[in-house]
Structure 1
Amino acid sequence: MDSFAPRDGDQDNPEKVPDFVETMIYNSTEGVMMTGRYASKEEAKKKGNVINNVGWWFKPWFYQHAQTALKKGEFVEYIPTREYYHRHTRCLYWEGKLILPFADQWWFRFLLGWMMPPKVSLLKATQGEAIRNYYHEMHVIQDMLVPLYKVGDALEWVHKEMEVYPLWLCPHRLFKLPVKTMVYPEPGFEHQHRQGDTSYAQMYTDVGVYYSPGPVLRGEVFDGADAVRRMEDWLVENRGFQPQYAVSELNEKKFWRMFDADLYEHCRKKYEAVGTFMSVYYKSKKGRKTEKEVQEAEQAHLETAYAEAN
């Protein structure tokens, strides 16, 4: 991933940095890195160029198509922009393999591939409590936003503690802003002159962890909740962040060690959201949030706010 991050800080030079960078790691020793640049239709249609309409229902799933590079080596193809944006939609990255194990077979793709992907909201609505708990304990859907120089450590941690494959990697820049938001770069990063960093932004990488862990697939004991909790602790210790679409296992005090709450709480109080809208912590914590639980937490915030005002 860092091979596409200039060492001279010239991050905005299109000659040095591609428009898209993505990596999929299939096991502890194999992975495929892809780069992409916008191209015109005229260029794509030149003689000898390969145009791949990956969005067609009968096409192989994108992560499996990319995996063929491990055998045939580096190759170049042109993908229509909209289809590239939705390259992981049909197979939900690789989660589709768990939902319908045979959905990647050629006969299913040809006959019924147009039905993919299943509507996630419908799947959740029809889940029973037992299935929901099973997914929570035996399945991982998490992202780890880590500094670029920590990616190797993050991959080793995931392999040792979860053994989830494939993994998805995507670069992400955190900008140094006039005010400190919930997610922010490391203090003093601009003085370290690390690869990928500039004076105004630090290069991070999103490590996507989506699948059933190796121990679960082998029928071994695995505590998913504890694994996620340890992952979050690792992120706190290594200046990483957990995107808030995912379930958090941290208590509220530890949660706000990962994120900076000052501006967030200031805005909630200024616009009178406290007591009206649920805090982001309660939106992402594990389990159903009872009305009483949320009201008690919000009341505590209100009492703190009044105490500060007095």
Structure 2
Amino acid sequence: MDRHSETVSAIAAIVRRFYDLGESYRVSHGSSNSTRPAHRSNENVVDISMLSNVLLVDAERRVVLVEPNVPMDRLVEATLPHGLVPPVVMEFPGITVGGGFSGTSGESSSFRHGFFDDTVNSVEIILGNGQLVRASRKERSDLFFGAAGAAGTLGIVTLVEVRLVEARKWVKTTYRKIEKIPNAIAEIKTQTENTDIDYLDCIISSPEHSIIIMGELTDSKPPDTPVRTFSNAQDPWFYMHIQEQTKSTDTVVEYIPLGEYLFRYDRAAFWVGRQGYTYFKFVPFTRFFRWLLDDYSHARTLYHALHASGVASRFVVQDLALPYDTAEDFITWVNRELGIWPLWLCPLRGSRLPTFHPVTETARAKVEVSDEQGQDEKSMSQPMLNIGVWGWGPSDHETFVAKNRALEAKLTELGGRKWLYAHTYYTEDEFWSEYNHRDAYEALREKYFATTLPTVYDKVKQPKLQRDNQGKAKRQEQSKSWLSTWPIGGLYGMVLATLSGDIALHRRATWRYNG
């Protein structure tokens, strides 16, 4: 803790200096699982990448004290030896604790436990004036709930206390095939009331093939039942495996080691890795090449390639949350306008309002939150269904933007919201109409000296289109360079992934099943 305190004090001093000078700045975490463009090189930057340690696992209290840049795989590796695991573990090993709190992060356990920040007890945070404070549900609760999902725009989180639950050895995983999308949506909603399961999500492979995935934590496995893993180069990609398993059988049960289940989507980053083969064209999409190029098929390395290749500007990577009763209409729209399959469905528990999380404002219940000012009654949103839409968009940038704008308009029409890690094309007025608690948010920024930090809209907005002398659309700050041309961009991304060291992290992972 001494090293942590010294590091945080040094960061706070830098923040205080910027505050005294009245200068704005951005925060560098050292890594990102966002598809948004990086900050410009001429901006003031506060580097907190060194805050990347698990400081304490308290097995008796069932909590872990962790710095914000600790990724999910290292967090799980620190807690599993104590027989404990975070209730919500994001599906990509590289997603960080700080990103989970300050962004929006949910997984297949979120129908039961909520977003990742719902599992956080408290945070240590540097305010905009350099003051270090603690915030929790009872202490500075307005800051605690305001900072959750606010993309780091109310201060710099430097320490997080995360609640833990009892871990089990296996996840008894049931795949259930459902032929019609409306039936699949109805089944997901029904299963959210099933107290026997701990994890729940769904892959819609096509309009005629949906697969409900239900996971139950257990310490027992029937004798002679094979163990299913997904982390080895010779293992199948998870989404392809369950498609194959349910082709001729409606229900399949497998036993997956807990770590393998939590990060089952790492290889291929769901199915985004398939697009790498589409991109390069000359590399066959065969089992041999998936084995040969496995190091480049993990989520961390794919993010390097996504940014370096310029593909991020042509690839739809969006998570949208919708009410159950409009989810089918949205899927129909995505099929008609974008033609993207598969789709990922993940049920979400309601969230405390107001929030930047993707929720519908319809109040489902009232909760009372105690803080130093007394009782504060707040509304809860209704449960929703996350729909992951990931695939190629139009190659023309102007058409790509138009399609994304149409997606946002359709989402609004159907009562949904989007995750803000992705490309966002709202105008400022449209954005604050969607996330309609601007006055309260700005008041928090004033109260906690955060006005020298960018706003949420500043962080998520996309560069505007300009026109050249011939009237052709071009991006204001991201002109296409030779490094992003095909196939140089993809090869460049692979080189960056190799040089970063991320490429070997999965090989050293101790959460992997070793028999």
Residue in structure 1 matched with residue 446 of structure 2 by the alignment: 269
Match of 2:413 in 1: 237
**Structural RMSD (CA):** 3.0
- Partners of 1:147 and 1:204 within 8 A in 2: yes
**Once the 2 structures are TM-superposed, how far is the Cα of residue 116 of structure 1 from its aligned partner?**
3.0
Q: Does residue 28 in structure 1 map to residue 207 in structure 2?
A: yes
More strand by share: 2
CA distance in 2, matches of 1:88, 1:103: 21
Partner residue of 1:88 out of 249, 256, 265: 265
Question: Are the structure 2 counterparts of residues 28 and 5 from structure 1 closer, same or farther at C-alpha, using a change threshold of 3 Å?
Answer: closer
Q: Deviations over 1:216-249 (max 9, x none)?
A: 5xx9999221111111112222221111101111
Task: For residues 228-271 of structure 1, give each alpha carbon's deviation from its aligned partner in whole angstroms, at most 9, with x where no partner exists.
Answer: 11111122222211111011111000011111324322211211
Please state how far the C-alpha of 1:100 moved relative to its aligned partner: 3.3
The answer for the alignment partner of 1:5 in structure 2 is: 189
Compare 79-88 and 92-101 and name the one that shifted more. Answer: 92-101
Residue equivalent to 1:168: 344
Q: Is the 8 A contact 1:61 1:104 kept in 2?
A: no
Q: Is residue 157 of structure 1 aligned with residue 333 of structure 2?
A: yes
8 Å Cα contact 1:144-1:208 kept in structure 2: yes
AA aligned to 1:119 is T
| TM-score, scaled to structure 1 | 0.74
Which runs of 5 or more residues in structure 2 are unaligned?
Answer: 1-184, 367-378, 465-475, 477-515
Amino acid aligned to 1:278: P
Matched, 1:63 2:244: no
* Partner residue of 1:75 out of 252, 263, 273: 252
Asked if residue 116 in structure 1 is aligned to residue 281 in structure 2, the reply is no
Matched, 1:97 2:274: yes
Of 120, 135, 143, the residue aligned with 2:319 is 143
Q: Distance in 2 between matches of 1:94 and 1:264?
A: 36
* 1:249–1:48 Cα change, 3 Å: same
Compared with structure 1, are the counterparts of its residues 111 and 181 closer, same or farther at alpha carbon in structure 2 (3 Å cutoff)? Answer: closer
**1:212 — aligned with what?**
392
Conserved 8 A contact 2:188-2:201: no
Other-structure match for 1:126: 308
Query: Match for 2:441: what amino acid?
Result: Y
1:187 aligned residue: 362
Q: TM-score by structure 2 length? A: 0.46
2:434 — aligned with what?
258
The offset of 1:93, in angstroms, is 1.1
Match of 1:19 among 198, 206, 210: 198
In structure 2, the residue corresponding to 1:67 is in which secondary structure? helix
Which structure has the highest helix share of the two? 1
**Secondary structure, in 3 states, of the residue corresponding to 2:382?**
strand
Counterpart secondary structure, 1:75 = strand
Query: Is the deviation greater in 99-108 or in 279-288?
Result: 99-108
| Residue in structure 2 matching 1:224, options 388, 400, 417 | 400
Task: Tell me the distance in 1 between the aligned counterparts of 2:440 and 2:224.
Answer: 54
Change in 2 beyond 3 A, CA 1:48/1:5: farther
Q: 1:103-147: per-residue Cα shift (whole Å, max 9, x none)? A: 7522124444245326245325634xxx35xx42x4211111111
Indicate how the Cα distance of structure 1 residues 100 and 6 shifts in structure 2: closer, same or farther if over 3 A, else same: closer
1:3 counterpart letter in structure 2 = E
Partner of 1:3, secondary structure, is helix
Q: In the alignment, which residue of structure 1 is the partner of 2:148?
A: none
1:41-73 Cα offsets, whole Å, 9 max, x none, are xx22x2242310111121111110011134231
Task: Note closer, same or farther for the CA distance 1:68–1:234 as it changes in structure 2 (3 Å cut).
Answer: same
Q: Report the Cα distance in structure 2 between the residues aligned to 1:277 and 1:258, rounded to whole angstroms.
A: 21
Q: What is the distance in 1 between the residues matched to 2:457 and 2:360?
A: 21
Sort the Cα spacing of 1:201 and 1:284 in 2 relative to 1 into closer, same or farther, 3 A: closer
The residue type equivalent to 1:26 in the other structure is S
Partner SS, residue 286 of structure 1: coil
- With over 3 angstroms needed to count, the CA separation of the structure-2 counterparts of 1:210 and 1:180, relative to structure 1, is same
CA distance in 2, matches of 1:202, 1:262: 23
Match of 2:227 in 1: 51
CA contact (8 A) 2:346 2:385 kept: yes
Deviation at 1:190, TM superposition (A): 5.3
* Cα distance between partner residues in 1 of 2:381 and 2:418: 19
Q: Tell me the distance in 2 between the aligned counterparts of 1:251 and 1:267.
A: 23
* Matched residue count: 262
Contact 1:158 1:164 in 2 (8 A): yes
**Identical counterparts, % of pairs:** 26
Structure 1, unmatched stretches of 5+, are 192-198, 294-310
Tell me, in whole angstroms, the C-alpha distance in 1 between the residues paired with 2:291 and 2:415: 46
AA partner of residue 356 (structure 2): M
- Whole-Å Cα distance in 2 between the matches of residues 54 and 109 of structure 1? 13
Q: Distance in 2 between matches of 1:125 and 1:158?
A: 24
Partner of 1:26, secondary structure, is: strand
Change (3 A) 1:110 1:139: closer
TM-superposed deviation, 1:2: 3.0
CA shift for structure 1 position 203: 1.4
* Corresponding residue for residue 297 of structure 1: none
CA distance in 1, matches of 2:307, 2:295: 22
Match of 1:282 in 2: 458
Residues in 2 aligned to 1:281 and 1:220: alpha-carbon distance in whole angstroms: 25
